[in-house]
Structure 1
């Protein structure tokens, strides 16, 4: 038996417990109170209120010295509980384009009977905060609000800083505050560029920091309806043109189809940098695909991982199905929802045509469901954005690279990019290897990750706001 590793583990545990036991700085205690209030304000679509959460954050800003002229609370009559807030801290140079801080207030639904703890009570346990929204996205919303509070007490920066806390990011088809602002109150959020969720960083299973991420691109979310109809009839007399079978055959073709590899500057840079952080066999495939997107062996290796596969290409998957009208009747109609995450540069109509070609059956129609938003446009890999983040990361997270990433999901950045405001998912908050229960049960975030992320983002905002 080797003794040294055991001693090392015990020492590491002891040091971690000492760190956990250390009292919070006064500014951290104030932040925790703000964070707790926001997390414990229910903002689910079913029974919650983003409008209330926005008002409470506005109250913190007013207590810090912001005036009514600096703060805009907004909502629409059709969605009175889906409101948000915009706050402005004016800079000294009216010619400098503002910096926008964006975060969403709404959270995914959470049922108390499913959770180990009350999802709407912030609980600190074994070095973690547990609650719905503890991570997504109230961690960032609280950090940005807290940063605006702290910045108000300091000499004004060169660049105006804006904060927008919005609702509707988590629910497809709901009122979306970021979209509404970009279309109706663009002047409130107009900026040279924006900081949003989607970046952060990753810990391994033991909590060791692995890498930081800057999101500069995301896929376009789009649903399609596959449908087949026929006259139906009595179930005692089956016929070959059965609507359910025809739909099942079509879905089988969609399942077997794989869109071609479609890299862009962001995903190419991701594979190039990520290659050094993964096992050699995987790293070699990443290097190869970045050099040659047509490398079939590398494609095969990378496609085995769901996340990497989605980074390589557009993906489409069946998510809902409905068919038939009675147990003793042949189906007259069968439909399926196919959800696609479309790579930047591809249009929703082009993807519909591809799906129709894959199905290749005149009995099955493929239609575009109501578009959920604009087509994603990558933000530029701008050195003036990346270099300050990298320099600060070298100080606060020594040894970690910032890797540019394309989100395979979706965020409100897509509405900003469509409005001409480049949006970056900033690094700083390190998330668990398994995602920390985001959108699932017992969502959690490390206290140390939250607090260090808070320090990093506050300092990064100050650097950007002061930059020429």
Structure 2
């Protein structure tokens, strides 16, 4: 998952509740560990890996647990033979009870052995952590989904509601094929559900391992990049001319930097901003004013000085790349930049492009959308039928730890379910370290105790949704 801050973990620092304790694994945890190990040790990076292989291995485990071939669907687009998906269906006993979909991407960010302390594609347990690419993002949760289906299949009585699982490929590479998108467009009835449980939520630990807060992801921004181009006849650098492609581009980018998109709020972001407003500082005071009057531009400007508030307060556009000129002794004939925008729910790619053009206000500056254009996630409601069980089960497993709804400033595969009008929620349960656990970086890891505790929580949560005993 591409995320800088998931919701309000950056906004809120709650009092410590409990400390995750390492214990000897139970037999059922060891069985789960085998699933997790197999996933981590199956390379699913785009360059040399295969999601199809990982999906096949998980399908074999489900079949061995009693799933019929008719309930296991291995789906691969002919154009992308290594980027296959697995959809598994555990039919409920009551056709009127609906369905829940467990969603997980099984692809991972690239990892080079020479850069890592340990082999990134070998699961290594060391000093209370599991190390390996995908341990935190998100093969731990994938393994929990597979393990949950196996345990419910082997139970004496089936759940009332139907439980589905989709393991897909392509979340980590926006420019490549995406399995979730492919399923929604080509196999909609197969994955149809009342709501979807996905990555994006979680829990926050303090540096010493104390549980501080749990997060439910309820909504996310959309990521979209735009190419900015200025062209010029150029010439010899000894004969400067009034117009210069680099200066013209720079002036346009400075206008974008100075522009602040209007403040927007959802029910979810308002909840977090109200909590942040309780702090006795300038940002807190500005938020109180802004919550009373969302059109107060000056209050929004002050509130946005907190980067965590700024990331969820409105659409954000920032320059991320520059390229200009062709020789040291020549006037530039072309200057380009990439602006990356994180678009607030309810706004559009086209509308953001229109705003950028108005802000720059220079017909000599060309701004265009960089393909692909992905769907924009729909903003889910704080549905008590979904959020209520998350909080109730958390009170049992993690007493005293607050459960906070959040909107992600990053993006997940949840965005692809907007056209299908399926609400997607990022589940709490797996606590992470404040440094991000090396996700997308070197030496990715997850605490052993956090993964096992999260597994217990999520199993009980899924049982609550599907009416399993």
Q: TM-score, normalised by structure 2?
A: 0.91
| d(CA) in 1 for partners of 2:154, 2:276 | 40
Deviation by residue 1:361-381 (Cα, 9 ceiling, x = unmatched):
221111122243112210111
Equivalence for 1:374: 375
2:252 equivalent to 1:250? yes
2:49 equivalent to 1:48? yes
Equivalence for 2:3: none
- Kindly indicate whether the alpha-carbon contact (under 8 Å) linking 1:173 and 1:372 is maintained by their aligned counterparts in 2: no
Counting only pairs closer than 5 Å after superposition, residues 60-99 of structure 1 correspond to structure 2 as: 60-99=61-100
Counting only pairs closer than 5 Å after superposition, residues 36-435 of structure 1 correspond to structure 2 as: 36-154=37-155, 155-273=157-275, 289-294=290-295, 299-435=300-436
| d(CA) in 2 for partners of 1:222, 1:285 | 29
- Kindly indicate whether the alpha-carbon contact (under 8 Å) linking 1:221 and 1:372 is maintained by their aligned counterparts in 2: no
SS of corresponding position for 2:391: helix
SS of corresponding position for 1:72: strand
Could you tell me which runs of 5 or more consecutive residues in structure 2 were left unpaired when the two chains were aligned.
1-17
Measured on the aligned residues, the alpha-carbon RMSD in Å equals 2.0
Deviation for aligned residue 1:246: 1.1
| d(CA) in 1 for partners of 2:27, 2:275 | 38
| d(CA) in 2 for partners of 1:290, 1:132 | 41
Structure 1 residues 291 and 426, CA gap change in structure 2 (3 angstroms): farther
SS of corresponding position for 2:82: strand
- Kindly indicate whether the alpha-carbon contact (under 8 Å) linking 2:19 and 2:210 is maintained by their aligned counterparts in 1: no
SS of corresponding position for 2:135: coil
Deviation for aligned residue 1:113: 2.0
Could you tell me which runs of 5 or more consecutive residues in structure 1 were left unpaired when the two chains were aligned.
1-14
SS of corresponding position for 1:120: coil
Deviation by residue 1:130-175 (Cα, 9 ceiling, x = unmatched):
1111010111111101101111011111100000000000101211
- Kindly indicate whether the alpha-carbon contact (under 8 Å) linking 1:216 and 1:266 is maintained by their aligned counterparts in 2: yes
| d(CA) in 2 for partners of 1:129, 1:255 | 41
Deviation for aligned residue 1:186: 0.4
| d(CA) in 2 for partners of 1:200, 1:295 | 33
Deviation for aligned residue 1:436: 1.1
Deviation by residue 1:219-269 (Cα, 9 ceiling, x = unmatched):
111111111112122222221211122112211221222212111112112
Deviation for aligned residue 1:308: 2.0
Structure 1 residues 440 and 291, CA gap change in structure 2 (3 angstroms): farther
- Kindly indicate whether the alpha-carbon contact (under 8 Å) linking 2:130 and 2:446 is maintained by their aligned counterparts in 1: yes
Structure 1 residues 446 and 283, CA gap change in structure 2 (3 angstroms): farther
